[in-house]
Amino acid sequence: MKSFGGKKIGFLLVVLIGFLLLWGMDPSICAAAEKTPVKIGVLTPLSPPGDLSGGRRIVWGAELAAKYINEEMGGVLSGRPVQLVVQDDMGTPAEGVAGYRRLVQKEGVVAVLGAFHSSVTLAVVEASKELGVPVFATYSSAAKITESGYPTVFRILGLSQDRVEYWMDHFKKAGIKRVAQLCEDTDYGTEFDKFLKEYGQRAGIEIQSAMYPRTATDMTPSLLKLKAWKPDFFIDAWTPPGAYLVAKQAYDIGLFPQVPMMAGYDWPVRPEFWDAVGDKGKYILFTGYYKPGMPVTKLGEWMIPRYKSLHNEDPQFLVFNSYGNTLIIAQALNAAKSEDPKALIKALTSTTFNDWNGTVKFGEEPGVKWHHVSPPLITLQLTKVRQPLAETKVVWPPQFGGDGKIERP
């Protein structure tokens, strides 16, 4: 028995040595062993006081992109799989910077996407200048983000001033003369306050604005003052969950829907909005970038049915944008043939990319357009409680079928 055992052990040693020799000689075996994941960071709000429902959808979009990259594209850099590393920034600058540093210095990610709150993104951008790993401002609209001119910053989104200028065009066509606004005291809210007053003056439209801390829960005193001013239109320039409180309280005091109300972006289509306000949310308007039925590329066609099957809702722009950001990073990695941040940034600025709704090319024009692409805007109105995004009314602009008319009770 002992002799047999010794022969068996010797045989196994010979097989092992032979395998190791083949390992060293066969390039395909070596290549397979080297296919370690390429990590992409997702830094986004997943707990209060951040917009956690928005952050969750950003993660969902990135997850579908990773699936597409690994299963349809065959990975990146000659077959290496993409792995997402998710970090909660809690919607606060301190957590955002700490999370970015962890993703870069501990996890070794090649790029970071998912930035939502502008105040967080501005802080993260400063850290990216130091560490050199690119950041995609997935849903942060503050002009200062791209005005920085930092080589690490990229964005596909409508700027705050783009949206305000777009609104003014609609207001003038609709004969709206007096616009009230309630905004949060973040970079997002203060920019809307600034540009609404600036563009309103240019357009000959009177503006009355009030501001509260983002964590406030009772905005009734200012809402009553704004109602007494008798506006033609009201803007809710908050991020959830505060945005839901503003909408509900505006209804409770009789400001809305007697006065049309606009959300700064597409948060009213989330189920959480209806959970918070019930039938008080009917007739709210919002500005977004997509309605089901609009043309998309093959990348968009691949994602839409899978997202709806997984999450039982139409994808919003932030889902599409995180999906697209992740795909663009993957395409840039292949163009660079490297995961080195400098090579990746060079590829991001010299390549035209396929996105979910067309092609994207990042320019280096100084100012707010630095590494920035602005998609077309569309204003929609929810005319029924829990109305699917596909059934919303197109209000503006005319090229998407809008006539400028707003439905009222």
Strands 372-373 and 358-360: unpaired
**pLDDT of 246 above 50:** yes
pLDDT higher than threshold 90 for residue 112 = yes
Q: What is the pLDDT of residue 34?
A: 59
CATH topology of domain 161-288+377-400: Rossmann fold (3.40.50)
Strand, helix or coil for residue 394: strand
Cβ atoms < 10 Å from Cβ of 297? 15
- Write the CA distances from 321 to 57, 87, 113, 173, 334, integer angstroms: 10, 18, 10, 30, 20
- The pLDDT value given to residue 28: 35
Contacts 24+ apart (CB under 8 A), 217-221: 217/242, 217/245, 218/249, 219/182, 219/245, 219/246, 219/249, 220/249, 220/252, 220/253
Position 179 scores a pLDDT of: 98
Q: What is the pLDDT of residues 283-336, one digit of tens each?
A: 999 999 999 999 999 999 999 999 999 999 999 999 999 999 999 999 999 999
Structure tokens at 155: 């964005």
- Cα angle 321-324-327, degrees, rounded to a multiple of 5: 155
Location of structure tokens 């109300």: 261
Diameter over CA atoms, the chain? 100
Q: Decide: 205 and 179 in contact? Cβ < 8 Å.
A: yes
Reduced to 3 states (helix: H, G, I; strand: E, B; else coil), residue 254 is coil
DSSP E strands, 6-118: 38-44, 82-88, 112-113
Is-contact 77 120, C-beta < 8 A?
Answer: no
The pair of three-digit structure tokens given for residue 86, joined into one six-digit string? 């998710």
User: Tell me, what's the pLDDT at 216?
Assistant: 94
Nearest to 67 by CA among 308, 298, 307: 307
Could you give the CA distance from residue 64 to residue 47 in angstroms, rounded to a whole number? Answer: 22
- CATH tag, 38-158+295-373: 3.40.50.2300
Residue 351: how many CB atoms within 10 A of its CB? 16
* pTM, rounded to two decimals: 0.88
Q: Using one digit for the tens of pLDDT, what is the confidence trace for 358-398?
A: 999 999 999 999 999 999 999 999 999 999 999 999 999 99
Give start-end residues of each CATH 3.40.50.2300 domain in the chain.
38-158+295-373, 161-288+377-400
Mean pLDDT estimate for the chain: 92
**Model confidence over 45-103: pLDDT tens digits?**
999 999 999 999 999 999 999 999 999 999 999 999 999 999 999 999 999 999 999 99
**With contact defined as beta carbons under 8 Å apart, do 134 and 81 qualify?**
no
- Tell me how far apart the alpha carbons of residues 111 and 396 are, in angstroms, rounded to a whole number: 36
Distance CA 203, CA 46 (A): 39
pLDDT at 12 over 50: no
Whether residue 15 is predicted with pLDDT greater than 50 in this model: the reply is: no
Please check the confidence at residue 135 and state whether its pLDDT lies above 90.
yes
If you compute the radius of gyration of the chain from its CA atoms, what whole number of angstroms results? 25
Q: Of 104, 144, 102, 103, give the one whose Cα is nearest residue 120.
A: 144
User: Which has more pLDDT, 183 or 30?
Assistant: 183
Beta bridge partners of 396: 379
Predicted confidence (pLDDT) per residue in 145-204, tens digit? 999 999 999 999 998 899 999 999 999 999 999 999 999 999 999 999 999 999 999 999
